[in-house]
Structure 1
Amino acid sequence: MKKLALLLILGGSIHFSSGQELGFPSKTHQKAFIGLDYLSVKMPFDAILGLPEDNMGLTGIHYNLWLNKSIYAGAGFYGSVNGIRGGLFTLGLNVGIKKELSKHWFVDAGIHFGGGGGASAPDGGGAFLLPHLNLGYALNNFSVTAGYSAINFFDKGNISSQQLNFGVQIPVSFDYSLFKEREQSYTVTDLVKSSWNQPSKRISLLLHLNNLSPYGDSKLTDGSLLKGKTIQLAGFEINSYFNDQWFAFFKADGAYHGIQGGYMDLFLGGGYHFSMNKDRTNILAKFGLGAGGGGGVDSGGGFFIYPDLSIEQRLFDEVYLAINKGYLMSLNNHFSATTLGFGLKYYVHQQGLSSTDGSQLEDVKIKGVQFILGQEMYLNADRMIEPTEHLHQFALQVNIFMNKHLYLAGHTSFADFGNAGAYAEGLVGAGYRSKKLGKTNASLFGQVLLGAAGGGDIGTGQGLIVKPSAGLDYKLNNQLSLRTAFGYVKARGGLLSSPSISLGINYSLGILTAK
């Protein structure tokens, strides 16, 4: 709950410039930055082997909003990429302050408060603190940082280390409207004299099922070979385009069948997009770097490379059927697999009225988007071996509204208390949000999520869970609201079957889209 209190304190002072033009949708400019960092964590002595354990290399990716000119807050993931703990992942909240020393030099101090674990690491319940104090140097398009950091898995964990860290910060920004303006439609002619008359940014969202087919010496941590088995994954991929051809992507998958629940992977990379057949058919070549493991898979330190080739065929409007074929492998061939995936992909131009080639777009509409950070609790969550107890998680959910009330959701959560640090979820689903209840600021919602989950001795079987819930959303201001829910979580083929309670902070906005 400390994370929620911190968000509420900071949330009212987000750094932006805004304006309301008569007859036009509101426009607010939000500054932010993407952070990438690496630290080498000293691990405790391995009492079983009687040997010191190699350092664990952690790499992180973060998205932070500027709350004012000096203070930032956001969320970030960490994953193991070196050592023997491939499959250790975390999710947490960032808060920091940045002070300029000169035109180029600055000091960055902050803290990351998160939850997670995995790969049989001594992570306890999963909760950890990671403060840092860095010196940075600003270049034209990015900044580099280095400095001191300390990590402590303080909830009965045995990972505590002080180390140097190295990072890169890339400034980004976006424009948005008010959430209450969602589903308002305009023509380009309506907005040509507004501040929205600017080049758009193209993005795409892919929801897919992916099959991993290990080969060679790929094995489980118990030594049994994985060759001939298929690990079935579900996940998503987001592409952000620099121009018509080149793009960056972020991809996340989790296992729901084929092995014990708990495997997941995260990738960041780039690619090239080639269109033909009057833009009805696309071919994409991608290359990514990332982390993966868990679910009993022996992925070594966890660092993977991911080359991939995809073909897409338009079904209708901007919706495509996507098929991908690629490879997922560690550099030393410790783990290798072919990948074959199928999914649905949606392209959209947003935050402007013209495409990257300068042509005017049409069918302008404000779409509602929500980002929810919060704490969840499963009551008496059944374990496979350890005694039953409550499971606590730090969760992130993104809702994309299809109309005024119906939304699609993506959800991830990582254990932070409850002796299950390795437990994590990656879910998708749909929900419905009601109108305001009378003259109050409250509205009701209901949703159903399903997807992959596992780790931490939680009884999820091979990893497929379903998670219905209903709750109340109470508006604090135009962007922030409190959100609470009650629900149930059930594992298919596993012991987990528990009531759930959640409390979070909801950041809502409207995104101008055009076709």
Structure 2
Amino acid sequence: MKKNILLIISLIFIQFSISQEKNVPEKKIQKGFGKIDFMSLGLPENDPNMGFSGIHYNIFLKDWAYTGLGIYGAVSGNKGGFFTLGFNAGIKKFITNNVYTDIGFHYGGGGGASAPDGGGAFFLPHVNLGYQFKNFSLNTGWSYVNFFDGGAIKCNQVNIALEIPLDFDYTNYKSSESTFDFKTLENSDWNILSKKTSLLMHFNNLKIRGNAQNTNVQIFGEATISLAGFEFANYFTKNWFGFVKVDGAYDGIKAGYMDVFLGGGYHFSFNKNRTNILTKFGLGAGGGGGVDSKGGFLLYPDFSVEQQIFYDIFIAINKGYILSPDAHFYTSSLGFGLKYYIERNGIIANEKSFSLGKFKGLEVITKHDIYFNAERDSNPTEDLNQFSLQINLNLNKNLYIAGQTSFAIFGNAGAYAEGIVGLGIKTNSLFNKKTTVFIQALGGAAGGGDISTGKGLIIKPSAGFEYQLNNTLSFRTEAGYIKAKGGSLSSSLFSFGINYHISFLKMNH
């Protein structure tokens, strides 16, 4: 009898354990790679060639097909402040174990620095041959750039690229906000070392420095350029991390200045991990808004201090410099912001102890925006079309924070760009659990392309809906309004696009 009771209890326990494990969302792996490429674009008339460098992230749809997003910026020549944003697609096929071909294209929009970019839309196909090393690959080949919406930049050139594998773990979006205790997670595929990520939303002030002979001092004096932006960092070890930083001007000078940096840093914690000191160094591109940054290549050394204010939220203060190598453009920077640290996709952490794991929803939205009758400073009013990227992080099932950047593609405003952040509210799934309705309000910096944004501050409320196509994709459309403070831009807007949505495991106290 006792044996039978023990057997029944054991069977119940095993069944309970199995059912608990099945309830944990399946950990999936998305194969992908990061890419940095460079090419020298031949410009018309007497302009020198423009060094054009991009940062991309691509995911594999199949073993041989990929798609992703990329941002380009000028790094040499005389077009500092020239930026573009777009999407990639291509085919990679291995000829041998190490040699491969890469045939693909990039489509996007942007411009700047008085370049002949027309409306901003451009097409960039490439045919490359590459070699796969152990931890990275190099490829090179032919590419062609055509700013086809009234632009005059049309050229063939050689491109060269460095690629590194960057895979990530995820699960279906429908699992977001599901919570599991560690006992349950220990019996799942999520029982692995966690990865540390941070997101910083900040304001930064650049004070122009230099002697009386410096071009920018002559133009602006020692003006202060007020910027708003974000920084995303991913940790490779306990202390070493890589980051991407993007800022846009909203005050101090005429709208249009922007900078983008890629770099690395070292993180030192003390005071029981409540206080952090970070040193960072980045390389990137910047310019616009009348700033003379020559070719656009910039350096970014920085020192930051962070203090915990609530669990994984820190207030950050930074001091550093943004300058061109020859100090032709030279500023001191001082900023502050809020940083959010995330331990994700694993329950084994280096230093911290957690009690729960919660799946958080992440959305990456690519869309086409239309501003109707967008006011200009000097040119005739007409519609403005943009390629736009928005990233949402769910705070709970119905509230999310959002960051968005957009670049002109049609409408004779190739240099126009935006960088905005805000909050959104959405409903639970409706109509057969396929449709979600949302409303959001974003604001931040915008300028360039003769669009009348004053010094660059804009607000952008909108509402719309999404229709789920499959586990990771939804169709999205919205309507709203954009208004510039200090400028004449005041337009209704409409957009449509695709939402790629997934969930990741976030560790909670």
**Shorter-chain TM-score range:** over 0.9
Number of the residue aligned with 1:297: 291
SS of the residue corresponding to residue 225 of structure 1 reads: helix
2:435 alignment counterpart: 442
Task: Give 1:25's aligned amino acid.
Answer: P
Query: How many angstroms does 1:222 deviate by?
Result: 8.9
Structure 2 residue 364 is the aligned partner of structure 1 residue 371: yes
CA distance in 2, matches of 1:252, 1:62: 14
The answer (yes or no) to whether the contact 2:121–2:410 under 8 Å persists in 1 is yes
2:101 corresponding residue in structure 1: 107
Three-state SS of the structure 1 residue aligned to 2:428 is strand
Alignment partner for residue 384 of structure 2, among 383, 391, 395? 391
1:469 Cα offset (Å) = 0.2
Mapping of residues 23-172 of structure 1, within 5 Å: 23-45=23-45, 52-172=46-166
Shift of residue 138 of structure 1? 0.6
Query: Aligned with 1:79: secondary structure?
Result: strand
**Which residue does the alignment assign to 1:416?**
409
- Asked whether the 8 Å contact 1:183–1:404 carries over to 2, the reply is yes
- Normalising by structure 2, we get a TM-score of 0.94
1:340 is matched with: 334
Query: Counterpart of 1:22 in 2: which secondary structure?
Result: helix
Amino acid at match of 1:142: F
8 Å Cα contact 1:217/1:225 also seen in 2: no
CA distance in 2, matches of 1:223, 1:422: 24
1:186 to 174, 180, 183: 180
Determine helix, strand or coil for the equivalent of 2:183.
helix
Q: Residues 246 and 80 of structure 1: is their aligned pair in 2 closer, same or farther, counting only changes over 3 Å? A: same
Query: Any residues of structure 2 matched to 1:213-252 within 5 Å, and which?
Result: 213-216=207-210, 224-252=218-246
Partner of 1:453: 446
- Partners of 2:90 and 2:103 within 8 A in 1: yes
Please tell me the residue identity of whatever aligns with 1:85: K
Partner of 1:9: none
Q: Whose Rg is larger?
A: 2
Q: How does 1:193-342 map to 2 (within 5 A)?
A: 193-216=187-210, 224-342=218-336
Q: CA deviation at 1:328?
A: 0.4
What is the CA deviation profile of residues 335-385 of structure 1, one whole-angstrom value per residue up to 9, with x for unaligned ones? 00000010000111111111146x754321001110000100000000000
Alpha-carbon distance in structure 2 between the residues aligned to 1:316 and 1:128: 45
Asked if 2 retains the 8 angstrom alpha-carbon contact of 1:219 and 1:226, the reply is no
RMSD: 1.5
Measure the CA separation in 2 of the matches of 1:411 and 1:463: 15
Give the length in aligned residue pairs. Answer: 489
Q: 1:513 to 1:440 in 2, by over 3 A?
A: closer
2:493 counterpart of 1:500:
yes
Residue 474 of structure 2 corresponds to 481
Question: What is the distance in 2 between the residues matched to 1:118 and 1:260?
Answer: 14
Deviations 1:23-60 (A, max 9, x none): 21222110000010000000100xxxxxx211000100
Q: CA 1:140–1:91 in structure 2 vs 1: closer, same or farther (change >3 Å)?
A: same
The equivalent of 1:14 in structure 2 is none
Give the C-alpha shift of residue 308 in structure 1: 0.2
- The 1:440–1:514 alpha-carbon spacing in structure 2 relative to 1, beyond 3 Å, is closer
| 8 A contact 2:275–2:306 mirrored in 1 | yes
Structure 1 residue 478: Cα displacement: 1.1
Code of the residue aligned with 1:367 in structure 2: it is K
Contact 2:362 2:394 in 1 (8 A): yes
**CA shift in 2, pair 1:384/1:222, >3 Å:** farther
SS of the residue 1:283 aligns to? strand
CA 1:395–1:217: 2 relative to 1, 3 Å: farther
Q: Judge conservation of contact 1:89–1:117 (CA < 8 Å) in 2.
A: yes
| Structure 2: tracts of 5 or more residues without a match | 1-19
Task: Give the whole-Å Cα distance in 2 for the aligned partners of 1:356 and 1:268.
Answer: 26
Q: CA deviation at 1:316?
A: 1.2
Scaled by the length of structure 1, what TM-score is found? 0.93
Q: Structure 2 counterpart of 1:134, which letter?
A: N
C-alpha distance in 1 between matches for 2:212 and 2:62: 49
Deviation at 1:440, TM superposition (A): 5.0
| Counterpart position of 1:22 | 22
- Residue 225 of structure 1 and its aligned partner are, at CA, apart by 3.0
Conserved 8 A contact 1:104-1:137: yes
Q: Kindly state the Cα deviation for residue 462 of structure 1 after the two structures are TM-superposed.
A: 0.2
Q: Deviations over 1:400-429 (max 9, x none)?
A: 000001000000000000000000000000
Q: Secondary structure at the match of 1:436?
A: coil
Q: Are the aligned partners of 1:221 and 1:296 in contact in 2 as well (CA < 8 Å)?
A: no
**AA aligned opposite 1:148:** W
Counterpart code for 1:123? D
SS of the residue 1:190 aligns to: helix
Conserved in 1, the CA contact under 8 Å of 2:21 and 2:184? no
Q: For the residues of structure 2 that align with 1:396 and 1:253, how far apart are their CA atoms?
A: 15
Separation in 1, partners of 2:368, 2:222: 39
Check the 8 A contact 1:85/1:119 in 2, yes or no.
Answer: yes
**Contact preservation (8 Å) 1:271, 1:284:** yes
Map Cα deviations across residues 254-284 of structure 1 (whole Å, 9 max, x no partner): 0000111111000000000000111111000
Q: Distance in 2 between matches of 1:218 and 1:481?
A: 55
1:110-148 alpha-carbon deviations (Å, 9 max, x no partner): 000010000110000000011111111111110011111
Output one character per residue of 1:141-162: Cα deviation in whole Å (capped at 9) or x when no partner.
Answer: 1001111111010000000111
The residue type paired with residue 60 of structure 1 is G
Greater mean deviation of Cα atoms: 179-188 or 148-157: 179-188
SS, match of residue 44 in structure 1: coil
1:441-497 CA-to-partner distances (Å, cap 9, x unmatched) read: 111100000000000000000000000000011111111000000000000010100
The aligned residue for residue 4 of structure 1 is none
CA contact (8 A) 1:480 1:505 kept: yes
Q: Provide closer, same or farther for how the CA distance between residues 466 and 200 of structure 1 changes in structure 2, counting only shifts above 3 A.
A: same
Equivalent residue for 2:10? Answer: none
> Is the 8 Å Cα contact of residues 21 and 185 (structure 2) preserved in structure 1?
no
Partners of 1:97 and 1:43 in 2: how far apart? 29
- Deviation per CA, 1:75-119: give whole Å up to 9, x if none: 000000000000000000100000101111111110000100001
Does the C-alpha gap of structure 1 residues 213 and 144 become closer, same or farther in structure 2, counting only changes over 3 Å? same
Runs of 4+ displaced beyond 6 Å: 218-223
Q: Is the 8 A contact 1:219 1:225 kept in 2?
A: no
Quick check: 1:391–1:418 contact (8 Å CA) kept in 2?
Answer: yes
